[in-house]
Amino acid sequence: MGDLAELQRNAARLATNADARAVAEAGPEGLDRFAAALIQKRLKAVRELLPRSFALFGGELDQRFRDWAAARPSRSPHRHRRDAVRFAQTLHHDLAHYEAAGVEAWLGGVPKLELFRLRVDRPGADLERGATLILWLRLPRGRLRRVRLWPLT
């Protein structure tokens, strides 16, 4: 068991950690491609979970995510949602926090009340200033609902 266990430990570490790959003398051929595919899969999932943030920040966010994810293995269950929440925290922007709050609410942190300084509830990436108060809660049968408490209209 020793050889296989060691091979798997090394492969897991190298596949999920760019720094470890950089200092490794040699890894299995194709490992870089495997690692890149892994990051790309995570990026695609997070892009779908934070679509307006990615639209707002433009293409630069793809590379920021790749850099961020390269040294941070994902964690199950719901690894992509957890990635989205953790990555959004690094963006320090109301829109990202708003999108991540919806994901967090799905993960179970409801009821959830959040105040934003921008009109984050309006579709699209163009944002106006203006307080927005949003409540996430669950209805009977477990359905997640988002309610805007402010502004009223």
Nearest CA to 10 out of 37, 39, 40, 31 is that of: 31
Cβ proximity to another protein: between 107 and 135 the closer is 107
- Per CB under 8 A, does 146 bind another protein? no
- Per CB under 8 A, does 81 bind another protein? no
Q: How many other C-beta atoms are found inside a 10 Å radius of the C-beta of residue 142?
A: 6
Buried b (16+ CB within 10 A) or exposed e, 51-84: ebbbebbeeebbeebeebbbeeebeeeeebbbbb
- Tell me which stretch binds another protein (CB under 8 A): 28-36, 52-60, 111-119, 128-136: 28-36
Contact flags string 106-125 toward another protein, x per CB under 8 A: xxx-----------------
- Tell me which stretch binds another protein (CB under 8 A): 52-60, 94-102, 111-119, 141-149: 141-149
- Per CB under 8 A, does 76 bind another protein? yes
Cβ proximity to another protein: between 16 and 132 the closer is 16
